[in-house]
Amino acid sequence: MKLKELFDSFDPCETKLYRPYIIAEAGVNHEGSMAIAKRLVNEAKEGGADAIKFQTYKASTLASKDSPAYWDTSKEPTKSQYELFKKHDSFWIEEMAELKAYCDEVGIEFMSTPFDIESADFLDEMMDVYKISSSDLTNKPFIEHICGYGKPIILSTGASALHEIQEAVSWIEKHGNPLALLHCVLNYPTPDENANLGMILGLKKAFPDKIVGYSDHTLPKDMKVCEIATLLGSVIIEKHFTHNKTLPGNDHYHAMDKEDLKLFRKNLERTFEILGSFKVEALEDEAPARQNARRSLVAKRFIPKDKTIEADDLTFKRPAHGISPKYIDEVVGKEALHDIAEDTVMQWNMLS
C-alpha cells in the first residue's frame, strides 16, 4: 500500500489495529555517496520497509553558524549543527530525482523531508505525502507553504507541548490537508524509559480524527519499543535506518539496520497472528467447548409424569446438550410428559 492510500482508507471510527506503514528514515546516512544511498534503498526494501525517507537541506538555510549540538557528542563529536549539516548537504534536486527513480525501480516508496522552501518545491513532483520534522512544528510559514501543495502531511511532535501541537494542527486544518501525527522524543538516543509511548494514546485522545503514529529514536535492541507502539495504535512507524550501526555519526548509532527491520516484521506477523480478529464472535475451534463445557438444565431428582416442574426439581450441569439454563423461567411451570429420572439432561420434548 502506498502512503497516500493509507490516508485515503483510514477510518478513525474503525476498531482495529493496523499493520503499521513502516518508514525507514535513512536521512543523510548516505553521507553524500549515491552508491551508499542506493544500498540503503535496497536494504530497506529487503528488510521489509514500505518507504525509505531521506532528508533534503542546505546547511546555510537550516542552521546559523553558532547553532549548538543537541545530540550525544560522545557518538558524534561535531559541536555545531551548521558544521554537521554542511558535511551532508550535497544531495539536492538531481540526486533526489535519481533516488526517486531508483526507489520506483526497486519497489519501495520514496520520501524526503524538506527543510527549506526550495527543497519543498522541487520534491513536490517526487512525493505524494510530505513529512514535516518536529523541529519545524512551530514554523508556521513553512508549514503553511507545504499545505499549499494540497497533499497529506505527516508531522512529528517531538519536544512539543500539547498546546503547540494543537496550534500546528489548526494551521494545517485551515488548509484541509489530511494529517498524521507521530509521537516522537527528540533525544538521540532516547532511553527506553523516556520513550513515553503512552503519549500515543494521549495524541489519539486529543486528535481522534487523525492518524497517529510513532517516530522512534531508541536503540533498536529487539525492536520491542516499536512493537509496543504498534499495539498502542500506531498506524505509521518511522525509525532511523543505516547499513552499518557501528559507523560514527549522529544518525547511525541509534538506527536500525535491515536485520533489525526483518526482526520487527517477523515479530509483527506473530503479534497480529495472536491478535486475530477484532470482531467479537465464537471461533469454529471453540465449538467443542460450547457443546461440552457449557451447561444444561438437569433433573435434580426424579420427576414423575404430569408433575408441574418447579425450580427445586432442576440444577445445571455439563454438557450443553439439552435445554440451556438461560431458559429456566420457561421450563418452570411446564408439566413432565413422562417420568424423568434423576440426573437426566432436560430436553424440550420431555415437557408439555
Q: Which stretch of 53-67, 115-129, 201-215, 323-337 has the lowest confidence by average pLDDT? A: 53-67
pLDDT > 70: what percent of the chain?
A: 99
Residue 71: pLDDT over 70: no
Give the model's pLDDT for residue 81. Answer: 77
Say which residue, 248 or 34, is predicted with more confidence.
34
Q: What's the mean pLDDT in 92-121? A: 98
pLDDT band at 83 (very low <50, low <70, confident <90, very high): confident
Task: Identify whether residues 130 and 7 lie together within a single domain.
Answer: yes
Q: Among the three residues 275, 295, 328, which one is the final residue of a domain in this structure?
A: 275
278 vs 232, residue with greater confidence: 232
Same domain for 198 and 117? yes
181 and 268 fall within a common domain: yes
Residue with cell 517531538: 158
- Band (pLDDT 50/70/90 cuts) for residue 76 is confident
How is residue 54 annotated by DSSP? Answer: E
Boundaries of domain holding 235: 3-275
Q: Please state the domain count of the chain.
A: 2
Closest CA to 165 of 186, 129, 134: 134
Residue 318's CATH number: 3.90.1210.10
Q: Are residues 201 and 88 in the same domain?
A: yes
Of 285, 288, 339, 293, give the one whose Cα is nearest residue 319. 293
Q: Which of 225, 250, 275 is the last residue of a domain?
A: 275
- Kind of pairing, strands 179-184 and 211-216? parallel
pLDDT tens figures, 38-49: 999 999 999 999
Give the distance between the most distant pair of CA atoms in the chain. Answer: 101
Tell me, yes or no, whether 240 and 96 share the same domain: yes
Q: Are residues 173 and 266 in the same domain?
A: yes
pLDDT of residue 183: 98
Residues 117 and 266 in one domain: yes
Q: Are 264 and 227 in contact (CB under 8 A)?
A: yes
Q: Using the predicted structure, report yes or no on whether residue 316 has a pLDDT greater than 90.
A: yes
Tens digits of residue pLDDT in 121-178: 999 999 999 999 999 999 999 999 999 999 999 999 999 999 999 999 999 999 999 9
**Length of the chain in terms of residues written:** 352
Residue that is last in its domain, among 241, 258, 275 = 275
Give me the pLDDT at residue 313, please.
Answer: 98
What is the structure's pLDDT at 234? 98
The pLDDT, as a whole number, for residue 106 is 98
Say whether both 202 and 102 belong to one domain. Answer: yes
Q: Exposure string (b/e) for 287-325, b if CB count within 10 Å is 16 or more?
A: eeeeeeeebbbbbbeebeeeeebeeebbebeeebebbeb
Answer whether residue 84 shows pLDDT above 80: no
- Average pLDDT on 70-78 reads 74
Mean pLDDT, residues 225-254:
93
pTM: 0.89
Model confidence band, residue 85 (pLDDT cutoffs 50, 70, 90): confident
Q: Are 292 and 216 in a shared domain?
A: no
DSSP 8-state code for residue 68: B
Structure confidence at residue 188 (pLDDT): 87
Same-domain pairing of 98 and 202: yes
Q: Indicate if 266 and 307 belong to the same structural domain.
A: no
* Tens digits of residue pLDDT in 5-18: 999 999 998 888 99
* Confidence category of residue 68, pLDDT binned at 50, 70, 90: confident
- Following DSSP, what letter does each residue of 38-95 receive, concatenated? HHHHHHHHHHT-SEEEEEE--HHHH--TTPBP-S-TTTS---BHHHHHHHT----HHH
Q: Both 219 and 319 in a single domain?
A: no
For the ranges 41-55, 86-100, 207-221, the lowest mean pLDDT is seen at: 86-100
Question: Which residues sit opposite 212 in a β-bridge?
Answer: 181
Q: What are the two backbone dihedrals, phi and then psi, of residue 136, each rounded to the nearest 5 degrees?
A: -105, 15
pLDDT at 105 over 80: yes
333 DSSP assignment: T
Collapsed DSSP state (helix, strand, coil) of residue 22: strand
Question: What is the model's pLDDT at position 69?
Answer: 76
